[in-house]
Structure 1
């Protein structure tokens, strides 16, 4: 039997039918692929999922609990807590979230790290609660960057300064109107890295503060915008293990003196406005010095001159590699154009490498730079000189 003739309309309808089937097949394949993807994610062991969640903010990590039953309790076992206020509309929501997280997290699991950041002010009771929780759960790495609205004499949770598990501690605490006081001694036996900013260091007896001698394995120390308590005139950094030291500026008008007893110091960085004087007994192992200073106000210019010259004189017999910023060179150039004052710039007898970090906006001439370099290398003319052009 001969079938009906195939018309153009029939061909179109048949193609449409085939296309519909193909679309359905593709949709089925897409659904299957999605199911397989979900299965593959679910098949991952817990420690892998927890490792992935470590790179999320705490807010996003908690939100994974709605994905499935598998994820509902998983966040409670996190050992790295990133508590950042930028994820919340205001302080009230942030505070409520912090309290909820600490109350619902699995308290049987120790903490590896806790990172608290809040640009605006937070309540000191909340900060105390977080620090107490961290210490009670054997935290290893603790970073606190907050502003506090407190009364004079406020002191942080004392247990944080005798925590035996801490290997890394960063405290950047701007307290209004008073800076937060630290105890005169920091008995932190496992601490390897310490970063202090906007805090007041206190002296035990007399006029000398010496808070770091009980940190027996301390390797890295950063001090920025730190003050000494009233009456203290010296900050003694006494630590035989310390290898890297960074010194920033201070917010107090009366400068204090740094006394270094750090026989194994290998790297020293001095930043911003160096109004402090520095003395050291022995820097035989010092390899690298990075100086990036600037006189922010005309009234500080002479003081910065004197502090910079004093620093270079202490370092001249030891340093092998020196890095100078263009703003530092500008200050030295001011000395070199002042006649006899250039003789105060010391010669570096062991210098092997001099690196100049130049910004395009620096207002020092090539002639001025050459004059400074020539004087610094007077006793080591074979030292290598590198010019590094830096972005603003």
Structure 2
């Protein structure tokens, strides 16, 4: 008996399901030809991953998905469903998949909807579940996916919305769209636009991230919110968060921020983008920034963008008469956000009045000032490590997929009755070969990115990163060889069977 087949047949269901979770459902079904042990395993896989890209005809996509759902073991619950859809996929079809997922107690759903036309309305009535804990909804198009009503997700703890517009048809104040998500703890709104005033009132919300958002008035009432991140948002933000302990603000706009007590706030990172065409010499702009800083009176760890200090330095008269609000400060860091290579930008002139404002109430606080050159090196090191982690995961997934593709049946060859199924895969053969080439290009690209970042990394971190990179490069070469060999082997194997 073929030793390779033995290993496949002896794998536990948990291991097989783990392998199948890395690939889309279409290719998971194709693994049924690997051995008799795998023939029906996909039917009990708790992961479903459907993408329009994996089907030659978008018009047949709904029928193909319907056949998959009808063939699946209905006694097995779902842990995760991923969908990548295009304009052609009707919302009625999406609702059908959602109903199936909810009826099988799905815990995690991720939907990416690609569209090229006008705004589309994504009815949240599709989402009624007592099991769903994690939901990601991402729109990909020139305009927004619109949402006009709330949904009922009693178990939901994490919600991530991207490129979504909250549209109020009556143009009056929004109610809380998340009112029927009583267990929501983590909320991320990225590139979301809100038509009208908006309120979030949640007793269990602990992490809130707002990025690239636009609204009129955004009111957050969250008594147990711990972490708040705001990046590049426009509009007035009003918060009532008495337990907020960490705040990060990064914006290029004049930031309107009102808080009802920040008595628990200990850590703040505050950055303002400063462009040459913007004038920060006006009293109104600088006053708004000072008003925000005054709210951080309990902070212990304060990080300010170098640009914020420059704004204060250009408006000394506004702080010269103010006592320092930072009576509990133990650490002050000044870090630039603009990392352009410009000698003039490297110079920091901090007037005595600004020093007194920042440190007068905490003269023993440690002060660390990073130059733009130093900060760029630190960020390059962090980015390089992030890419290396992504590459490590990519290589692990590729090895899992290749193990599936190159395995054999118990008899050491594909049996005759499976020939029809193999013929159906013929149309995918060259697509798989092309996909393999794209994967190799991606691996090379990631290695090149890391090498480029290492040109400007602190010496203290470069040696460690170089050692890890050498190991990754060797593993990458091994995986590239496996990809090349496995794709080349597909052609003769398929030709013999046809």
TM over 0.5, yes or no?
Answer: yes
Residue 247 (structure 1) shift? 1.1
Residue 269 (structure 1) shift? 0.8
1:337 and 2:314 aligned: yes
1:286 and 2:266 aligned: no
1:276 is matched with which residue? 235
* Contact 2:157 2:184 (8 Å CA) reproduced: yes
User: What's the RMSD between the two structures over aligned residues?
Assistant: 3.9
1:236 and 2:199 aligned: yes
SS in 2 for 1:256: strand
1:107 is matched with which residue? 74
- Equivalent residue in structure 1 for 2:112, among 122, 128, 145: 145
Distance (Å, rounded) in 1 between the aligned partners of 2:364 and 2:12: 58
SS in 1 for 2:152: coil
Residue 153 (structure 1) shift? 6.8
Of the structure 1 ranges 48-57 and 349-358, higher mean CA displacement relative to structure 2 is found in: 349-358
Residue 373 (structure 1) shift? 7.7
Alpha carbons of 1:275 and 1:96: their partners in 2 closer, same or farther (altered >3 Å)?
same
Alpha carbons of 1:124 and 1:315: their partners in 2 closer, same or farther (altered >3 Å)?
farther
Alpha carbons of 1:347 and 1:158: their partners in 2 closer, same or farther (altered >3 Å)?
same
SS in 2 for 1:62: helix
- Equivalent residue in structure 2 for 1:365, among 346, 358, 372: 346
Distance (Å, rounded) in 2 between the aligned partners of 1:330 and 1:348: 19
Unaligned 5+ residue runs, structure 1?
1-31
Alpha carbons of 1:368 and 1:305: their partners in 2 closer, same or farther (altered >3 Å)?
farther
Residue 56 (structure 1) shift? 2.6
Alpha carbons of 1:157 and 1:256: their partners in 2 closer, same or farther (altered >3 Å)?
closer
1:262 is matched with which residue? 222
* Contact 1:277 1:307 (8 Å CA) reproduced: no
2:407 is matched with which residue? none
Residue 134 (structure 1) shift? 2.2
Highest RCO, 1 vs 2 (Cα 8 Å, sep ≥ 6): 2
1:312 and 2:278 aligned: no
Note the 1:218-237 alignment, pairs <5 A: 218-229=184-195, 232=196, 234-237=197-200
* Contact 1:168 1:192 (8 Å CA) reproduced: yes
1:47 and 2:14 aligned: yes
Higher share of residues assigned helix: 2
Alpha carbons of 1:40 and 1:178: their partners in 2 closer, same or farther (altered >3 Å)?
closer
2:450 is matched with which residue? none
SS in 1 for 2:153: coil
**Alignment length (residue pairs):** 345
* Contact 1:312 1:346 (8 Å CA) reproduced: no
* Contact 2:286 2:312 (8 Å CA) reproduced: no
Residue 200 (structure 1) shift? 2.5
1:27 is matched with which residue? none
* Contact 2:216 2:235 (8 Å CA) reproduced: yes
Alpha carbons of 1:332 and 1:248: their partners in 2 closer, same or farther (altered >3 Å)?
farther
Distance (Å, rounded) in 2 between the aligned partners of 1:307 and 1:130: 52
Distance (Å, rounded) in 2 between the aligned partners of 1:121 and 1:143: 17
2:451 is matched with which residue? none
| TM-score scaled by length of structure 1 | 0.72
Of the structure 1 ranges 121-130 and 235-244, higher mean CA displacement relative to structure 2 is found in: 121-130
Residue 266 (structure 1) shift? 1.2
Alpha carbons of 1:256 and 1:157: their partners in 2 closer, same or farther (altered >3 Å)?
closer
Distance (Å, rounded) in 2 between the aligned partners of 1:379 and 1:108: 65
1:193 and 2:151 aligned: no
Distance (Å, rounded) in 2 between the aligned partners of 1:375 and 1:176: 45
Distance (Å, rounded) in 1 between the aligned partners of 2:4 and 2:361: 68
SS in 1 for 2:131: coil
Unaligned 5+ residue runs, structure 2?
254-272, 384-498
